[in-house]
Amino acid sequence: MSEKSIRVENLIKNFGEGESLVEVIDGASFSIDKGELVALTAPSGAGKTTLLMMIGCVEEPTSGTIYLGDEKVYDNKWLTKETRKIRREKIGFIFQAHHLIPFLTVLENVTLVPQTNGISKKDSEKDAMELLKYFEISDKANATSAQLSGGQNQRVSIARALANKPEIILADEPTAALDLKRSVDVVKMLKKIAVDQNVAVVIVTHDEAMYPLCDRIIKIENKKVISTEVNS
């Protein structure tokens, strides 16, 4: 029996109220194991980002329960004032755009969150350099994002998401801007990370070509969440 990394029960999310009420998620219940790579897919506007941001303690749900690892973080309300602390300690975020801080170097971008978590400059830089080596970009450690190519920036942003040794990686359409070969590379890399680091990885993608690389597909249909195993 594998360990649960994310567990969501009866999660509901509405935007607005009264006339302008928009129901996005209406009672989602699912769980994701450590080491598992899950694709989250649905048509545009169906609520993928919203769901991801609720798991990531960024967007507050309307009601329900969220567990991250052993910790219950949401039970009809946030159970901690410091959701940002959960984010920087447990979660790695990857986006479609690299969203690196332009006035920081590659190395500073990757060490910012670990240093905020209290890791020393020396240790965080040592860890970061290992990650950058893994992504074959350690020679650019002192460059800024403006000096890197799109692919290089994307790799740095993945390194940043891993730098705080997260329990969960949430990736919102990380391959949307990439060609097929690069997309496959990124997803394979995330699968390897999921296994090697024993973390749960959720990636939002429309690209059916990615499905065989994932362990499971979670779909949002009519505001409900449906989970299907991938048998490849």
Partner 1 sequence: MINLAQKDIAHSLGKFIVTSMGVGMLLGIVLIMIGVYRGMIVDAQILLNDLDVDLWVVQEDTLGPFAEASRIHESLKETLRAIDGVDKAGALTFQNIQLPATPKPVRVVAVGFDPHGSFNAIKPERIIAGRTLQRSHYEIVVTDKTGFKVGETIKLGRNNFKVVGITKGTVSSGGDSLVYISLKDAQELQFSYSNNRIRNDKARGIINRDSHMVNTIVASLKPGYSNDMVANAIRRFKHKSVYTKAEQKTILTKNLVEKSSKQIGMFTAILVAVSTIIIALIIYTMTLEKMKEISIMKLIGIPNSLIIKMVVQETLLLAFIAFIFGNIFAYLIYDKFPKRVVLEMPDAWMLLIVIIVFAILSSLIGVKKVISADPAAAIGG
Ligand X SMILES: Nc1ncnc2c1ncn2[C@@H]1O[C@H](COP(=O)(O)OP(=O)(O)O)[C@@H](O)[C@H]1O
| Phi, psi of 126, deg, nearest 5 | -65, -50
Closest approach of partner 1 to the CB of residue 161, in Å:
8
Map residue 1 onto helix, strand or coil: coil
Give me the residue whose beta carbon is nearest to Mg ion: 49
Closest approach of ligand X to the CB of residue 18, in Å:
13
Binds ligand X (CB under 6 A): choice among 24, 28, 131, 158: 24
Q: What span, in angstroms and rounded, lies between the C-alpha atoms of 219 and 228?
A: 8
Nearest to 217 by CA among 208, 202, 229: 229
Q: What span, in angstroms and rounded, lies between the C-alpha atoms of 27 and 204?
A: 19
Closest approach of ligand X to the CB of residue 129, in Å:
34
Binding of ligand X by 50 (CB under 6 A): yes
Closest approach of ligand X to the CB of residue 219, in Å:
11
Binding residues for partner 1, rule: CB under 8 A, are 49, 53, 58-59, 84-89, 91, 93, 95-97, 99, 101-104, 108, 111-113, 115-116, 121, 144, 160, 172
Q: What span, in angstroms and rounded, lies between the C-alpha atoms of 53 and 51?
A: 5
Beta-strand runs (E) in the chain: 4-15, 22-33, 37-41, 63-68, 71-75, 91-94, 168-172, 200-204, 216-221, 224-229
DSSP string, 33-47: ETT-EEEEE-STTSS
Binding of Mg ion by 49 (CB under 5 A): yes
Nearer Cβ to partner 1, position 112 or 213? 112
Q: What span, in angstroms and rounded, lies between the C-alpha atoms of 66 and 93?
A: 18
Binding of ligand X by 49 (CB under 6 A): yes
Q: What span, in angstroms and rounded, lies between the C-alpha atoms of 99 and 109?
A: 10
Nearer Cβ to Mg ion, position 51 or 163? 51
Binds ligand X (CB under 6 A): choice among 42, 131, 194, 199: 42
Taking CB within 5 to 8 Å according to partner kind, which of partner 1, ligand X, Mg ion, none is near residue 22? Answer: ligand X
Closest approach of Mg ion to the CB of residue 47, in Å:
8
Binding of ligand X by 154 (CB under 6 A): no
Residues making contact with ligand X (CB under 6 A): 15-16, 22, 24, 42, 44-50
